[in-house]
Amino acid sequence: MRDILRSVLIGEGAVSDQHFLRGLSDEPFGILRADHLYIESCFEQYESDIGEVKLPNLTGKILQIISMHVDLEEDVLYPVYLRIQMDAAHYRLCMAEHSAERRLAENIAFADPGDDGLELMMNALARRTRAHIRKEEGPDGVWALLRQSRIDLHRLGRCLQHHRDNHLARHYLHS
């Protein structure tokens, strides 16, 4: 973690699955934006299956993507944000939102596929996730504040991609 912060602060050293894996562009927040678009497209696909049997693998995919994305933000983006902005209250709010999403995702993961509450929990997760994305990408959100700072955003983007690549490698080694 310290190396990531040092690298970024000091300056050292329908969306497809492919876009999710590599990000949308070289733009520093491209990988996060790709995650957001991918999560949104998965929720839209889930919601379009109203009245049909929801595919368990789609629910699992949504939970996996959200988990990976939350880890990426908590391990890389938010510590950099906290260091630059020194806004502990906003940092705690972001972390609390993630904690609530994690708890909801865990409840969904352990729910019986026939559970009547599963649909309600998925709808709640979609609402929470969409609200969080709007805030994060908004004019007063984390991205805007980091863009206004003096950090090397391209290095931050590379750190985000490196973290994502390592996470994917670990995931595929264990599956």
Question: In terms of CATH architecture, what is 2-174?
Answer: Up-down Bundle (1.20)
Flag whether pLDDT at 20 surpasses 50. Answer: no
Are 101 and 128 in contact by the 8 Å Cβ rule? The answer is yes
> How distant, in Å, are the alpha carbons of 138, 148, 172 from that of 133?
8, 19, 27
Q: At what angle do helices 117-137 and 30-48 cross, to 10 degrees?
A: 150
**Using CA atoms, how far apart are residues 63 and 25, in angstroms rounded to an integer?**
24
Distinct helix (H) and strand (E) counts, the chain: 9, 0
Tokens of 61: 């995919």
pLDDT band for 4, please (50, 70, 90 cuts): very low
Tokens of 93: 């709010």
pLDDT band for 89, please (50, 70, 90 cuts): confident
Quick one: pLDDT at residue 100?
Answer: 93
pLDDT band for 146, please (50, 70, 90 cuts): confident
Mean pLDDT of 80-98: 85
Q: Rounded to the nearest 5°, which phi and psi values hold at 17? A: -60, -35
Task: Fill in the amino acid letter for 120.
Answer: L
Quick one: pLDDT at residue 30?
Answer: 85
Quick one: pLDDT at residue 19?
Answer: 41
pTM, rounded to two decimals: 0.78
Flag whether pLDDT at 13 surpasses 50. Answer: no
Q: Which of 32-36, 90-94, 158-162, 169-173 has the lowest mean pLDDT?
A: 169-173
Quick one: pLDDT at residue 50?
Answer: 60
Q: Which strand (E) or helix (H) includes residue 148?
A: helix 142-148
**What does the pLDDT look like over 94-136, one tens digit per residue?**
899 999 999 999 999 998 877 888 889 999 999 999 999 999 9
**What does the pLDDT look like over 28-81, one tens digit per residue?**
788 899 889 999 999 998 888 765 566 677 888 899 999 999 999 999 998 888
